[in-house]
A and B are shown apart, each in its own frame.
Chain A
Amino acid sequence: MNVGSADALSPNEQEAVAEVIDNEAIIIRVSDGVYYSLDKTGGFIWQLIQQNGKVSDIVDAVTRCYGIPQQQAHADVLRLAEELVRERLVCVSPNAGPNAPPAALPAAPAGATAYETPRLNVYSDMSDLLALDPPAPGMSDLAWGPTDTEPAPAGTARTEPA
């Protein structure tokens, strides 16, 4: 499906479970257990999609945050959007018309000038691999340390082994 500048994008909530930390997104397609990731620019764009952003607004935000030509941002955003739609991770609302800008843009990544062409990483065999090697009973809720429940506060000292 072709995606146009006037279209609005939103996560396909029937299919995609996603979370973002520090502009890094992991997305799980629940119907077949395919895993995806988006890094840096891609994670930033995913957050704009989570705000049901219009393609043209997303292009503007990427142009502004990374200081790249709008034409490049437009091409990259459209290519990624079409891929996300193809993978059934994103829904398109055609010709959304003028709408309010996103309430708050996600924080631009540190060193936002270091633009990287957004790339959807696909891990198509996760469901098969987990079936071969399933989680152990009783281990699922086992945290590995303070960072497993909440991100560690900045400056938190970690005890290093002697």
Chain B
Amino acid sequence: MRILFWSDTFYPSIGGVEVFAARLIPALRRRGHELLVISRRQHESHEPESCMHGTRVYRFPFTEALGSGRPARILRLCKELARIKRDFRPDLVHCNSLVASTLFHVRTAASAPVVPSLLSMHGNLEGLDTSARSVTGQAIRSAKRINCCSRAILADLVGAVPEVESRTSVIYYGLDPAPAPPAPRPSEPRLLCLGRLVREKGFDLALDAFSLLSVAFPGAHLTIAGDGPAAGELAQQAVGLGLRDRVRFTGWVAPADIATLLDACSLLIVPSRWREAFGLVALEAALRERPVVASGVGGLAEAIEDGVTGILVANEDSRALAEGVVSLLRRPSEADALGRRARERALRRFSWARCVDAYEALYREVLGE
């Protein structure tokens, strides 16, 4: 089938949504589908047209056109998009984003050929206008099917737009294990936080928790891996807590290095404040047999089975986070068992092949096959 894939942000941008799209597209192409990607040009270095694994990728300065205050720029862009759609002749449109540029998807939905659309929800709708007057609400209501990356996101969607419930589904993300088997967990307490350094990820809570347990575990170290606007504040916080020598900031981490980073840790902390859509990082840790201590918010409660593959604690509670970590540090054999069960569960429930199979089946359903 021919799939027009809208993804506002796309590789080489790195994030859960972008990585998902960049992996799904070549996987579908290998199964014989034709795809075309329309995304946002986020940087001058991004080519307006390029080819990724045999799939044409168009990038447009969507938000710049929308923010220009010049309706003609928006109109010309709509016409260019309509031309691309007309030339490609998709069987369906898969919209992978729900952001400002979704206006262009909504505007071109009626241009020939008119085809059914699938909307993927990768984030919660908190604070968004979902009324029928909004772009967000129109993209949701006009989709033939809406897939959510977790039950938490589904609940959020149905709460906001109940009338679409019968058209919804959940397909979890999938990951394949790295070829090398997981390394044994280090015997010394090596704690890891991994993700974008933004307030919502709650890494400041992990620092507070680490401060609470650092006296009882003088050999413990914390690594905070990732980059983002909160980097400076977090570094200052570590100094302020007297933990400069025991907290390491790695900066940006290449996706290929994540397995090595996880192998070097004894457990992962995911202290997110916001309702994570799923918590892909927990799945990464599971595949390396690392237990996770996480706030039990959003999709994290699905990525982690509390007491079986990790420990879920109350949100925004650094003391509870510290207690969860300490309970595993004091019982390494239990931590090992959680890690093993996490990997078994990840291989069973969250394989990449299962994810691609499910999307392929959903496309067929959208087309009424």
A residues at B contact (CB < 8 Å): 17-22, 24-28, 30, 35, 37, 39, 122-126, 128-130, 132-136, 138-142, 144-145, 147-148, 151, 161
**B134 at the binding interface (Cβ < 8 Å):** yes
**B348 at the binding interface (Cβ < 8 Å):** no
B52-90 at interface with A (beta carbon < 8 Å)? 56, 59-61, 63-64, 66-80
User: A-facing mask of B118-147, CB < 8 A → 1, else 0?
Assistant: 000000000111010111111000000000
30 intermolecular pairs with C-beta atoms under 8 Å apart: A17-B71, A19-B72, A20-B75, A21-B76, A21-B79, A26-B72, A28-B69, A35-B66, A39-B110, A122-B133, A125-B136, A128-B127, A129-B128, A129-B135, A130-B100, A134-B67, A135-B61, A135-B64, A136-B42, A139-B44, A140-B61, A140-B64, A141-B64, A142-B41, A142-B44, A144-B77, A145-B80, A147-B79, A147-B80, A161-B49
Among A20, A125, A144, contact of B134 (Cβ-Cβ < 8 Å): A125
Nearest B residue to A141 by beta-carbon distance?
B64
Residues of A contacting B56 in the complex (Cβ-Cβ under 8 angstroms): 161
Cα of A19 to Cα of B67 in the assembled complex, Å: 15
Residues of A contacting B136 in the complex (Cβ-Cβ under 8 angstroms): 125, 129
A158 to chain B, nearest CB (A): 8
B100 touches A126 (CB 8 A): yes
Give 19 A-B pairs besides A35-B103, A135-B67 with Cβ atoms closer than 8 angstroms: A17-B71, A18-B71, A26-B71, A37-B107, A124-B134, A126-B135, A128-B127, A128-B128, A129-B136, A130-B63, A132-B100, A135-B63, A136-B64, A140-B61, A141-B64, A144-B61, A148-B76, A161-B49, A161-B51
Among A21, A37, A132, A144, contact of B60 (Cβ-Cβ < 8 Å): A144
A136 touches B63 (CB 8 A): yes
Among A27, A144, A161, contact of B41 (Cβ-Cβ < 8 Å): A144
**B99 at the binding interface (Cβ < 8 Å):** yes
B residues at A contact (CB < 8 Å): 8, 41-44, 48-49, 51, 56, 59-61, 63-64, 66-80, 99-100, 102-103, 106-107, 110, 127-129, 131, 133-138
Given contacts A19-B71, A21-B76, contact A139 B64 (CB under 8 A): yes
Cα of A30 to Cα of B59 in the assembled complex, Å: 27
B11 to chain A, nearest CB (A): 17
B133 touches A26 (CB 8 A): no
A130 touches B66 (CB 8 A): yes
Residues of B contacting A122 in the complex (Cβ-Cβ under 8 angstroms): 133
Residues of B contacting A136 in the complex (Cβ-Cβ under 8 angstroms): 42-43, 63-64
B63 touches A138 (CB 8 A): no
A133 touches B69 (CB 8 A): no
B3 to chain A, nearest CB (A): 18
The 4 closest A-B pairs by CB, nearest first: A26-B71, A129-B100, A125-B134, A19-B71
B64 touches A142 (CB 8 A): yes
Among B64, B68, B110, B134, contact of A123 (Cβ-Cβ < 8 Å): B134
A117 to chain B, nearest CB (A): 14
Residues of A contacting B131 in the complex (Cβ-Cβ under 8 angstroms): 124
B64 touches A133 (CB 8 A): no
Residues of B contacting A18 in the complex (Cβ-Cβ under 8 angstroms): 71
Residues of B contacting A138 in the complex (Cβ-Cβ under 8 angstroms): 44
Nearest B residue to A149 by beta-carbon distance?
B76
Cα of A139 to Cα of B69 in the assembled complex, Å: 14
B80 touches A140 (CB 8 A): no
Residues of A contacting B61 in the complex (Cβ-Cβ under 8 angstroms): 135, 139-140, 142, 144
B51 to chain A, nearest CB (A): 7
Residues of A contacting B69 in the complex (Cβ-Cβ under 8 angstroms): 17, 28, 30
Cα of A124 to Cα of B135 in the assembled complex, Å: 7
A130 touches B74 (CB 8 A): no
Question: Among the interface residues A17, A19, A125, which one has the most CB atoms of the partner chain B within 10 A?
Answer: A125
Residues of B contacting A133 in the complex (Cβ-Cβ under 8 angstroms): 8, 63, 99-100
